[in-house]
Structure 1
Amino acid sequence: MSTTPATDWTDRMLEFTVGPVAHGGHCVARVADEASPADDRGRVVFVRHALPGERVRAVVTDDPGGAFCRADAVAVLEASPDRVEPACSWAGPGGCGGCDFQHVTPAAQRSLKTAVLREQLTRLAASAAELATVRLDDVVVEELPGGPLGWRTRVRLAVDDAGVPGLRAHRSHDVCEIGDCPLVPGGALEPVLEQRFRPDSEVDVTVGADGAARVGAGGTVHGAGRTWELSSGTFWQVHPALADTLADVVRDWADAPRGGVAWDLYGGVGLLGSVLADQVGPDGTVLVVESSSSAIADGASALADLGQLSFVQGRAEREIARLEPAPDVVVTDPPRTGLGKATVRALAARGPRRIVHVACDPAALGRDLALFAGAGYRVAGLRAFDAFPMTHHMEAVAVLERTD
């Protein structure tokens, strides 16, 4: 049975009933393929701007020529009760690709993300689930303070070949010219969008506590009861409530012993390292491993009073084997791709009794949890947060304990 259609479906109009949500901000449907009538399951269509159970008309936007294609719902024939009018006129088919769920109530967005998280972990981390002391059915994506709009304090604009800033279309380098973004505090972005920049570049914008947007500026941020002065380009969480939320979870779960040793890998400016420093006390040791020199400089300045904390510049995956002293507790906050096999193996070899693992991608989280299970760790706690309302993204934290 062939899985490759005989014809290209690009620009074809389809009508179908939408299936379940999938990782990536779309839902899944199956549509009969006339070229393969023996396949009664139909061809997979990943459709955006739709909801499970809806009847829609959708136009195929991308057909890679294999067993699936991608489409945008352009007409809703039978709507879900969870459907609402998008807050942004640029959020629909053919528009800005930054938001996936503006057509969904905030509560239903969190339910969709919860479904994705559970599905990814069930599929990718079955071995970890067997060792876990938490039930996936008890894990939900939790709401953060501040509401679904106006939360984003940092945004990267793309600039087209005429110097006009905007946001990129979905899965495209095309720049959508926009008048504002409702995820950014009201009106803050408009003065920036009126400016012109170097063609084919990108512009980082930060919205300060005063509500004003600054191009390329770092600014003052707060988290874990401390203040950081950030250089331009230094990473900080885009949701204003997430830094303290993650700090609170680490404070609850790390349980670093007094006088002990803790590592903060991919530690940035040391936000979570500062929590570990409070736990180990002045006689303990905290090593914050970070590759960005600006983040280290900003962190060292903000945490100069913590003599037990020091920064190590380098890639965490390369430093693990040579860091001394060996850790009692480790916090990891890797890039979206996760830790991966080699890093998990190297970390487990150093023998921390507890690991607090922060992840911004549920698939990467699932893969890493499975690797940790194979290395002798069990999941003792799992929480997830809706740190990116209107998008499919989420933040999750797992605490792992050594089984021996």
Structure 2
Amino acid sequence: MTEKPDWTGRRLEVEIGPVAHGGHCVARHEGRVVFVRHALPGETVIAEVTEDNGGGFCRADAVEVVQAAAGRVSPPCPLADMALGPDRCGGCDFQHADGETQRALKAAVITEQLQRIAGLDWPVEVRELPGGLLRWRTRARLAVDRKGNAGFRPNRSHRVIPVADCPITVEGAVEELADRRWRPGAELTVAADGEGELHVTALDRKPQRRRGRQQAVARQVAGSGVAHESVRGRSFEVAAQGFWQVHKAAPETFTEVVARFAAVPSGGTAWDLYGGVGLFAAELAEQAGPTGSVLLVESSRRAVEDAVANLRDQPQVQFRAGTVERVLTDEDLPDPDVVVLDPPRKGAGREVVQAVTARAPSRIVHVACDPAALARDVSLFAENGYRMVELESYDAFPMTHHIECIALLERES
């Protein structure tokens, strides 16, 4: 039996090829694929192998640039410095690239995923949101090391790198956590809401007496725990640790796009699946009017409670707490003219796609934070008679490889 190679720790000089989904680029060395982080297409770099399971590929970090690409810049965060090698913070993927280059890389990823998975040749432009590359993030999660310091983890690692600040997070949010000592092993979440209040929750893992198990105990450290947000003139309350778009400009922008794509007819019916606290349902209800109806479906009961309170002035909105898969088995649901769905990162999947298309809505608006999941869902919709007719993509997560896409699908005649 041939012994599997293990290049862990080796430094390789490689020429960097195209960007791949996941925040790395593709290189080749001695017949093997090397996924290299912190490099750019067209560069020649020295890459240190960080993970090698002996198969056809390994993972590496660029530690020296032999020949730089035109879009390379110095990272604004010291924890993204190339000199740190694999000990860099894993929160950002593209701090070594200027904004234009970052958006071009993300557009290339979306294009490749749509072509490979959905068979679509679709021109993609990733649009910039207001605010620039820094200080856009309103919500963050941190871990606590053995000494009680708050920090972030390196890529694909359980270690914790203590931090004093995070330049992509709004000012004051991370500093508030870095100035304190925490229970070792705790997890921290921080949310800065639209009114400037900072909400901090600590999730402590305490050992139980029986069977050596741990019990997670959440405690509110700062803030009321209820975030106050405002979008397009409407106020929203949301549990500070619940789901809300993390980019300051994203809720306003995405709501405008969803409303434009949805175009619910007056007196019509809309479904808002994975509807959260009612951000999109509010716009759908305005379009449908008092004689129309909107069904919001959300699995989080706390989010549904918040949505009921947020939309108390819109009686045409009905609420169902439960998984989308389960709720859509109810044959008594009214057939929708328009369906909006904003599924989790894994996408909607075959069961939901089939349940939606079986009701024959004229339009489907799909909000996706993962281009591979979007491509899979678009392919499933195509199998069920719907084609993508519009796509808008946004750099809602600058410095990272994440992207937000909003697609409009229509039923084929």
Q: Residue 260 of structure 1 is aligned with which of 256, 268, 278? A: 268
**Which residue number in structure 2 is paired with residue 347 of structure 1?**
356
Alpha-carbon distance in structure 1 between the residues aligned to 2:145 and 2:350: 39
Alignment of 1:192-341 (within 5 A): 192-209=177-194, 211=196, 213-216=198-201, 217-322=225-330, 324-341=333-350
- AA aligned opposite 1:172: S
Residues 272 and 340 in structure 2, CA contact (< 8 A), matched pair in contact too: yes
Residues 227 and 302 in structure 1, CA contact (< 8 A), matched pair in contact too: yes
- Residue 136 (str. 1) matches residue 122 (str. 2): yes
Residues 220 and 227 in structure 1, CA contact (< 8 A), matched pair in contact too: yes
| 1:147 Cα offset (Å) | 0.6
| 1:6 Cα offset (Å) | 3.3
| 1:391 Cα offset (Å) | 0.2
- AA aligned opposite 2:133: P
Residues 174-213 of structure 1: CA deviation (Å, up to 9, x unaligned): 1111111001123432122111223212111012346563
Alpha-carbon distance in structure 2 between the residues aligned to 1:70 and 1:100: 14
Runs of 4+ aligned residues of structure 1 deviating over 6 Å after TM superposition are none
- AA aligned opposite 2:122: L
**Which residue number in structure 2 is paired with residue 102 of structure 1?**
95
**Which residue number in structure 1 is paired with residue 71 of structure 2?**
82
- Residue 73 (str. 1) matches residue 62 (str. 2): yes
Residues 247-267 of structure 1: CA deviation (Å, up to 9, x unaligned): 111111111111111000000
| 1:392 Cα offset (Å) | 0.3
**Which residue number in structure 2 is paired with residue 357 of structure 1?**
366
- AA aligned opposite 1:230: V
Alpha-carbon distance in structure 2 between the residues aligned to 1:237 and 1:203: 18
Alpha-carbon distance in structure 2 between the residues aligned to 1:207 and 1:270: 19
- AA aligned opposite 1:56: V
Q: Residue 394 of structure 1 is aligned with which of 380, 397, 403? A: 403
Alpha-carbon distance in structure 1 between the residues aligned to 2:246 and 2:271: 24
Q: TM-score, normalised by structure 1?
A: 0.92
Alpha-carbon distance in structure 1 between the residues aligned to 2:335 and 2:193: 39
| 1:225 Cα offset (Å) | 2.5
- Residue 46 (str. 1) matches residue 35 (str. 2): yes
Secondary structure in 1 matching 2:80: coil
Alignment of 1:91-130 (within 5 A): 91-92=80-81, 93=85, 94-126=87-119, 129=120
Cα 1:5–1:105 shift into 2, 3 Å: farther
- AA aligned opposite 2:388: V
Alpha-carbon distance in structure 1 between the residues aligned to 2:344 and 2:194: 27
Residues 263 and 286 in structure 1, CA contact (< 8 A), matched pair in contact too: yes
Equivalent pairs: percent with the same residue?
A: 54
Secondary structure in 1 matching 2:41: coil
- AA aligned opposite 2:33: V
Residues 224 and 243 in structure 1, CA contact (< 8 A), matched pair in contact too: no
- AA aligned opposite 1:295: A
Alpha-carbon distance in structure 2 between the residues aligned to 1:19 and 1:231: 43
Alpha-carbon distance in structure 1 between the residues aligned to 2:329 and 2:172: 48
Alpha-carbon distance in structure 2 between the residues aligned to 1:254 and 1:185: 32
Determine which structure has the larger strand proportion and give its number: 2
Secondary structure in 2 matching 1:189: helix
Secondary structure in 1 matching 2:364: strand
| 1:162 Cα offset (Å) | 3.0
Alpha-carbon distance in structure 1 between the residues aligned to 2:14 and 2:193: 45
Residues 36 and 47 in structure 2, CA contact (< 8 A), matched pair in contact too: yes
| 1:5 Cα offset (Å) | 6.6
Alpha-carbon distance in structure 2 between the residues aligned to 1:321 and 1:48: 44
Secondary structure in 2 matching 1:186: coil
Q: State the structure with bigger RCO (CA 8 A, min sep 6), 1 or 2.
A: 1
Residues 363 and 410 in structure 2, CA contact (< 8 A), matched pair in contact too: yes
Unaligned runs of 5+ in 1: 33-41, 130-134
- AA aligned opposite 1:18: I
Q: Residue 143 of structure 2 is aligned with which of 154, 158, 180? A: 158
Residues 42-80 of structure 1: CA deviation (Å, up to 9, x unaligned): 200000011111111111000021100000000001111
Secondary structure in 2 matching 1:369: helix
- AA aligned opposite 1:248: E
| 1:233 Cα offset (Å) | 1.9
Residues 378 and 401 in structure 1, CA contact (< 8 A), matched pair in contact too: yes
Structure 1 stretch 202-211 or stretch 63-72: which is displaced more?
202-211
Alpha-carbon distance in structure 2 between the residues aligned to 1:348 and 1:194: 52
Secondary structure in 1 matching 2:253: helix
| 1:304 Cα offset (Å) | 0.3
In the alignment of these two chains, the number of paired residues is 385
**Which residue number in structure 2 is paired with residue 14 of structure 1?**
12
Aligned-residue RMSD, C-alpha = 1.5
Q: TM-score, normalised by structure 2?
A: 0.90
Alpha-carbon distance in structure 2 between the residues aligned to 1:121 and 1:218: 38
Alignment of 1:178-189 (within 5 A): 178-189=163-174
